[in-house]
Chains A and B, each alone.
Chain A
Amino acid sequence: MSVLVYTETENGKFKKNAFEVASYAKNVADQMGTNVTAIAINAENAEELGAYGVSKVLNVSNDQLSTFNAKAYASTIAQAAEAEGSKVIIISSSADSKYLGGILAAKLHAGYVPNVVAAPESTAPFMVKRTAFSNKGFAHTEIDSEVKIVGVSNNAFGVIENAASASSEAFTPTIGDADFGVKSIEVDKVVGKATIADADIVVSAGRGLKGPENWGMVEELADVLGAATACSKPVSDLGWRPHGEHVGQTGKPVASNLYIAIGISGAIQHLAGVSASKTKVVINNDPEAPFFKAADYGIVGDAFEVVPELIEKLKEFKAQNA
C-alpha cells in the first residue's frame, strides 16, 4: 500500500527531479499514513533517496534498460506498483516521464493528472491542483480510480530533506521483445551543461539581439549563473539558434526558479510557455514591451550595455559569495 515514486536516473545518478518527486511522495504518504517506495532503474546509490523520505528502493539492474524506453519503463513501474500494492504513483514532468505517463495510466487503468503544482489538498477524495490553459489557469482535479498517478511539475514542490533510512533491494521486472518495438538509435544530448528542463536558471534571448553573432554575451551570462540558454520562437525560426532552445507554447516549457528574458517582447505564446517560472526578469529597450507586465523585475535599456554590465556585477557577487 506504500506510495510508489519513479525516481529517474541518468548514467546511474539520480536526476534532480528524482529528489523532488521523492519529497512529494513523502508528503502524500504522510497524509495517507503509509511509506514511500521508490522504483529506480540502474541507480548506483539507491540509498541516497532516504534523505528525501524514501523507505525502500526497488532497484532494477538491467542492461536492456540502460537507454530510456517508454513502454519497457512503464511496464517496469507497473510491475513495481503491483508488487507493492501501491495505489498512488508519483512521477515527474520530464520529457521521459510525460512520455511514459499515458502508457502507465492505461496499463494500470489509472487516472493520471500531470502538471501538478502542490501537495494533494486531500487524499480521500484525492484532489490535486494542476496548471491548465497553458499556465493561464489552475484546475482542482479529483482522481477517483483505484490507482492514481500524479505528475509533479518541475520546481513546483521543491526538494525537502526528510531523513529516513532507505533499504535497497533488487527488483527484476519481466521485460520482453514486445516492449522494444520502438528502438533508440542515437541520443544527441548536451553533456555537462544545464538543460532547460531542469536548470534552476534559464537565460533566454530574442530578436532584440539583432543576430546570432551576438549570442556570446548570452552564453557568458548563462555560464556565470550556471544557467541553461533558451530563445524565443522567431529566433529559432530564423535559424539563429537551434530549435531545441525554443521556449514557449509550441516549444519547450520552462518552470525554472529564475527566468531572464533579453530582447524578448513577450508575445502571449511565449509567456504561455515560461510563466510557470518563479521569478522573471526582463531586459528590453522598449518600455512598452508586453513582457514588462508579466515580469517581476525589469530593466529598460540597451541589452548590449546592460548584459555585459550584469555579467560583471554577477561575477563580483559570485566572488563575494563563493
Chain B
Amino acid sequence: MKILVCISNVPDTTSKINFTEGDTKFDTNGVQFVINPNDEFGLTRAMWFKEKQGAAVHVVTVGDASVEPTIRKALAIGADEGIRVNAAPKDGFFVARQLAEIVKNGGYDLIIAGRESIDYNGGMVPGIMASLLDMNFVNTCISLEIEGTEATAMREIDGGKEKISTSLPLIIGGQKGLVEESDLRIPNMRGIMMARKKALNVVDEVDSPTPTADKKFERPAAKGPVKLVDAGNISELVDLLHNEAKAL
C-alpha cells in the first residue's frame, strides 16, 4: 500500500495573529510553523499502517522552501519520502489541484489529509481533490482500518458518528480519533539524523484556477472586560443573561 499524507505548514496554535502590508497579508514575523494538528493525527495513523501493514508513506506540502523544516519533521517521525510543490498556496482549489497532480503521478492507494488547516480553516482541499480524481472520500474521519482494498472508517457527524464501508483508492479528511493525542510522536535523534538522508523532491506547480482571494484581513474587535458576578448572587447572572445578553 502506498500512502500520501498531505501536510499543511501552519502557525503554531499559540502564535499571535497579526497582519501586515495594509492588512492584506498574514504577518509571519516571529511565528513558529508546525505540522497542521489534523494532519499530524493522519501522519501518525500512516505510521501505524507502515509498521503493521508494510505501507510506504510519502508526505507532500505545497509551499516555498520555508516549509521544508516541516516536511523534514514528518520524515523524522518516519515518513519515507517528502515532496514539495514549489508554489505559494493561493487558495483551497489551487492547493487541491496541485495535490491531485501528485496523486495522479504517484499511484497512491490512500491519501490522508486533515479535515481542515488551523490557519485558513477552509476544509475543502480533500473534497476538491477527491472530486478532481474521482476517488472515494471520507471526511471528519475518526478511525480507519484497511484490509486488502477494502476500508472501514468512522466519520464524526453532528451529534454522533457513522460507520462507513468503502474501498481504495481513498481520500481521508482526518482528525483526532484516527489516533489519540498520546499516540503522537516526537522525533528522536535517530529519526532526525535519518530524515536528513531521505529524499525531498521539489516539483513545479501545474496550472490551476484560483477562484478565491483574501483581499483584506482584520483582527476581532477588542473584547470588553469580563463582568464578574458574585458567587453568592447567582440570580444576577440569570438576570444579565436574560436582559443584557438576551441569551435566555
Say whether A and B bind each other. Answer: yes
Residues of A within 8 A of B (CB): 68, 70-71, 74, 94-96, 98-103, 105-107, 109-115, 127, 131-145, 148, 181-190, 193, 195-198, 201, 225, 233, 237, 243-244, 246, 249-252, 257-258, 268-269, 272, 275, 278-279, 281-282, 292-302, 305-306, 309-310, 313-314, 317, 321
Q: B231, A306: Cβ atoms under 8 Å?
A: yes
- Check B108 for interface membership: any CB of A closer than 8 A: no
**Which B124-168 residues sit within 8 Å CB-CB of chain A?**
124-132, 136-140, 142, 152, 156-167
- Check B42 for interface membership: any CB of A closer than 8 A: no
* Interchain CA distance A317-B128 in the complex, whole Å: 49
Distance in angstroms from A62 CB to nearest chain B CB is 19
Residue among B121, B124, B139 making CB contact with A134, cutoff 8 Å: B121
Q: Name A's interface SS.
A: mixed
Mask for B207-219, Cβ within 8 A of A = 1, else 0? 0010111111111
Nearest-CB residue, chain B, relative to A69: B164
Given contacts A258-B241, A258-B247, A293-B226, contact A103 B120 (CB under 8 A): no
- Check B92 for interface membership: any CB of A closer than 8 A: yes
Residues of B within 8 A of A (CB): 11, 13-14, 17, 19, 26, 37-38, 41, 91-93, 96, 118-132, 136-140, 142, 152, 156-167, 173, 175-177, 180-182, 209, 211-220, 223-224, 226-231, 234-235, 237-238, 240-242, 245, 247-248
Taking A140-B216, A258-B241, A317-B238 as known contacts, 7 extra A-B pairs with beta carbons closer than 8 A to each other, sorted by chain A number, are: A95-B158, A112-B122, A133-B120, A136-B219, A250-B176, A257-B247, A296-B227
Q: A299, B213: Cβ atoms under 8 Å?
A: no
Q: List 30 A-B contacts (CB under 8 A).
A: A101-B123, A101-B124, A102-B131, A103-B127, A105-B93, A106-B130, A112-B93, A113-B212, A115-B121, A132-B217, A133-B26, A136-B220, A137-B218, A137-B219, A140-B216, A140-B217, A143-B211, A181-B167, A183-B166, A186-B162, A195-B160, A198-B158, A244-B161, A249-B37, A250-B38, A282-B226, A296-B245, A297-B240, A298-B229, A321-B242
Residues in B with CB closer than 8 Å to A182 are 136-138, 164, 166
